[in-house]
A and B are shown apart, each in its own frame.
Chain A
Amino acid sequence: MSKIMLANQKLGLTAEAGLFYSLASIAASEMPGDQALQQCLDIVCEYVEWPVGHLYVDASDGSGELAPATVWHLDDPERFEAFRTVTERTRFPPGVGLPGRVLQSGEPAWIPDVQQDENFPRNKAAGEIGVRGAFAIPIKAGSQIVAVLEFFADRQEEPNERVLNVMGMVAHQFSRILERKRSEEALRDAESRLRQLMEAIPIGVFVLDSSGKPTYANPVAKELLGRGIIADTATDQLGEVYQATIAGTDQPYPADRMPIVRALAGERLTVDDLEVTRPGGKTLALEVWGSPVYDSAGRVQYAMAAFIDITERKRAEDALRETEEMYRAVVDNANDAMVINVGAQVVFVNHAYVALFGLEDEAQAVGLSVYQFSHPEDYDLVRERILARERGEPVPSRFEHRIIRQDGNVRTVETSSVSITFRGQPAWLRVLRDVTERKRAEEEIRVLNQELEQRVIELESSMKELDAFSYSVSHDLRAPLRAMDGFSRILAEEHAPQLVPEAQHYLQLVRDNAQQMGRLIDDLLMFSRLGRQQLRLQTVALADLVKQALGDLQSEREERRIEISVGDLPTCRADPALLRQVYINLIGNALKYTRKNQTAVIEVDCQQIDGEHVYRIKDNGAGFDMRYADKLFGVFQRLHRSEDYEGTGVGLAIAQRIIHRHGGRIWAEAEINKGATFYFTLSGGPANGTTR
Chain B
Amino acid sequence: MAQLAENAVEILLVEDNPADVELTLHALQRYNLANNIHVVRDGAEALEFIFCTGAYAHRTIENGPKVILLDLKLPLVDGIEVLRRVKADPRTQPIPVVVLTSSREERDVVDSYKLGVNSYIVKPVEFDQFTEAVRQLGLYWVLLNEPRTV
Residues of chain A touching chain B, judged by Cβ–Cβ distance below 8 Å, are 471, 474-475, 478-480, 482-483, 485-487, 490, 522
Give B62 Cβ to nearest chain A Cβ, in Å. Answer: 35
Instruction: Please pick, from B102, B103, B124, the residue contacting A486 in the complex, using a CB distance under 8 A.
Output: B124
- The answer to whether A485 and B124 have CB atoms under 8 Å apart is yes
Q: Does residue B93 face the partner (Cβ distance < 8 Å to A)?
A: no
- The answer to whether B19 and A483 have CB atoms under 8 Å apart is yes
Instruction: Please pick, from B22, B102, B105, B106, the residue contacting A479 in the complex, using a CB distance under 8 A.
Output: B102
7 nearest interchain CB pairs? A483-B19, A486-B23, A486-B124, A482-B124, A478-B102, A479-B17, A475-B102
Chain A residues lying within 8 Å of B123, measured Cβ to Cβ, are 482
Give B92 Cβ to nearest chain A Cβ, in Å. Answer: 27
Q: Does residue B132 face the partner (Cβ distance < 8 Å to A)?
A: no
Q: Does residue B73 face the partner (Cβ distance < 8 Å to A)?
A: yes
Q: CA–CA, A660 to B103, complex, Å?
A: 27
Q: CA–CA, A475 to B122, complex, Å?
A: 13
In the complex, the number of residue pairs spanning A and B with C-beta atoms less than 8 Å apart equals: 34
Q: Which of B17, B102, B106 has the most C-beta atoms of chain A within 10 angstroms of its own C-beta?
A: B102
Chain A residues lying within 8 Å of B23, measured Cβ to Cβ, are 482-483, 486-487, 490
Give B17 Cβ to nearest chain A Cβ, in Å. Answer: 5
Give B108 Cβ to nearest chain A Cβ, in Å. Answer: 12
Chain B residues lying within 8 Å of A482, measured Cβ to Cβ, are 19-20, 23, 102, 123-124
Chain B residues lying within 8 Å of A483, measured Cβ to Cβ, are 17, 19-20, 23
Chain A residues lying within 8 Å of B73, measured Cβ to Cβ, are 475
B99-112, CB under 8 A of A: which get 1 and which 0? 00011011000000
Chain B residues lying within 8 Å of A478, measured Cβ to Cβ, are 102-103
- The answer to whether B106 and A490 have CB atoms under 8 Å apart is no
Give A184 Cβ to nearest chain B Cβ, in Å. Answer: 130
Among residues 22 to 55 in chain B, which have CB atoms less than 8 Å away from a CB atom of chain A? 22-23, 26
Q: Which of B22, B73, B105 has the most C-beta atoms of chain A within 10 angstroms of its own C-beta?
A: B105
Given contacts A475-B103, A479-B17, A482-B124, 20 further A-B contacts (CB under 8 A): A471-B105, A474-B103, A475-B73, A475-B102, A475-B106, A479-B102, A482-B19, A482-B102, A482-B123, A483-B17, A483-B19, A483-B20, A483-B23, A486-B19, A486-B23, A486-B124, A487-B22, A487-B23, A490-B23, A490-B26
Chain B residues lying within 8 Å of A487, measured Cβ to Cβ, are 19, 22-23
Chain B residues lying within 8 Å of A479, measured Cβ to Cβ, are 17, 19-20, 102
Chain B residues lying within 8 Å of A490, measured Cβ to Cβ, are 23, 26
Chain A residues lying within 8 Å of B19, measured Cβ to Cβ, are 479-480, 482-483, 486-487
Among residues 6 to 20 in chain B, which have CB atoms less than 8 Å away from a CB atom of chain A? 17, 19-20
Q: CA–CA, A490 to B73, complex, Å?
A: 25
Give A520 Cβ to nearest chain B Cβ, in Å. Answer: 14
Chain B residues lying within 8 Å of A474, measured Cβ to Cβ, are 103
Q: CA–CA, A685 to B19, complex, Å?
A: 54
Q: CA–CA, A486 to B124, complex, Å?
A: 7
Q: CA–CA, A483 to B20, complex, Å?
A: 7
Contacts A/B (CB < 8 Å), 23 sampled: A474-B103, A475-B73, A475-B102, A475-B106, A478-B102, A478-B103, A479-B17, A479-B19, A479-B20, A482-B19, A482-B20, A482-B23, A482-B123, A483-B17, A483-B20, A486-B19, A486-B23, A486-B26, A487-B19, A487-B22, A487-B23, A490-B26, A522-B103
Complex: chain B residue closest to A474, CB-CB = B103
Q: CA–CA, A479 to B24, complex, Å?
A: 13
Complex: chain A residue closest to B18, CB-CB = A483
Q: CA–CA, A485 to B106, complex, Å?
A: 20
Give B141 Cβ to nearest chain A Cβ, in Å. Answer: 27
Q: CA–CA, A475 to B26, complex, Å?
A: 22
B65-97, CB under 8 A of A: which get 1 and which 0? 000000001000000000000000000000000
Chain A residues lying within 8 Å of B102, measured Cβ to Cβ, are 475, 478-479, 482
Complex: chain A residue closest to B125, CB-CB = A486
Q: CA–CA, A485 to B102, complex, Å?
A: 14
Complex: chain A residue closest to B101, CB-CB = A475
Complex: chain B residue closest to A482, CB-CB = B124
Q: CA–CA, A479 to B23, complex, Å?
A: 12
Q: CA–CA, A233 to B79, complex, Å?
A: 128
Q: CA–CA, A479 to B100, complex, Å?
A: 12
Chain B residues lying within 8 Å of A480, measured Cβ to Cβ, are 19
Give A474 Cβ to nearest chain B Cβ, in Å. Answer: 8
Chain A residues lying within 8 Å of B26, measured Cβ to Cβ, are 486, 490
Q: CA–CA, A480 to B19, complex, Å?
A: 8
Give B82 Cβ to nearest chain A Cβ, in Å. Answer: 18
Q: CA–CA, A478 to B102, complex, Å?
A: 8
Q: CA–CA, A485 to B125, complex, Å?
A: 12
Chain A residues lying within 8 Å of B20, measured Cβ to Cβ, are 479, 482-483
Q: CA–CA, A483 to B23, complex, Å?
A: 8
Q: CA–CA, A370 to B116, complex, Å?
A: 78
Complex: chain A residue closest to B17, CB-CB = A479
Q: CA–CA, A522 to B73, complex, Å?
A: 19
Chain A residues lying within 8 Å of B105, measured Cβ to Cβ, are 471
Q: CA–CA, A424 to B63, complex, Å?
A: 107
Chain A residues lying within 8 Å of B124, measured Cβ to Cβ, are 482, 485-486
Complex: chain B residue closest to A478, CB-CB = B102
Complex: chain B residue closest to A490, CB-CB = B26
Q: CA–CA, A652 to B58, complex, Å?
A: 59
Q: CA–CA, A487 to B20, complex, Å?
A: 10
Chain B residues lying within 8 Å of A485, measured Cβ to Cβ, are 124
Give B121 Cβ to nearest chain A Cβ, in Å. Answer: 13
Q: CA–CA, A479 to B123, complex, Å?
A: 9
B102-145, CB under 8 A of A: which get 1 and which 0? 11011000000000000000011000000000000000000000
Q: CA–CA, A485 to B126, complex, Å?
A: 12
Chain B residues lying within 8 Å of A475, measured Cβ to Cβ, are 73, 102-103, 106
Q: CA–CA, A471 to B22, complex, Å?
A: 25
Q: CA–CA, A617 to B105, complex, Å?
A: 29
Give B67 Cβ to nearest chain A Cβ, in Å. Answer: 22
Q: Which of A474, A482, A490 has the most C-beta atoms of chain B within 10 angstroms of its own C-beta?
A: A482
Q: Which of A475, A483, A486 has the most C-beta atoms of chain B within 10 angstroms of its own C-beta?
A: A486
Q: CA–CA, A621 to B106, complex, Å?
A: 37
Give B113 Cβ to nearest chain A Cβ, in Å. Answer: 16
Chain A residues lying within 8 Å of B22, measured Cβ to Cβ, are 487
Give A486 Cβ to nearest chain B Cβ, in Å. Answer: 4
Give B115 Cβ to nearest chain A Cβ, in Å. Answer: 19
Q: CA–CA, A480 to B73, complex, Å?
A: 14
Give A382 Cβ to nearest chain B Cβ, in Å. Answer: 61
Give B126 Cβ to nearest chain A Cβ, in Å. Answer: 9
Chain A residues lying within 8 Å of B103, measured Cβ to Cβ, are 474-475, 478, 522
Complex: chain A residue closest to B104, CB-CB = A522
Q: CA–CA, A455 to B22, complex, Å?
A: 48
Give A260 Cβ to nearest chain B Cβ, in Å. Answer: 109
Chain B residues lying within 8 Å of A486, measured Cβ to Cβ, are 19, 23, 26, 124
Give B69 Cβ to nearest chain A Cβ, in Å. Answer: 15
Give B5 Cβ to nearest chain A Cβ, in Å. Answer: 28
Q: CA–CA, A195 to B19, complex, Å?
A: 138
Chain A residues lying within 8 Å of B106, measured Cβ to Cβ, are 475
Give B143 Cβ to nearest chain A Cβ, in Å. Answer: 20
Q: CA–CA, A479 to B73, complex, Å?
A: 11
Complex: chain B residue closest to A476, CB-CB = B73
Q: CA–CA, A487 to B22, complex, Å?
A: 9
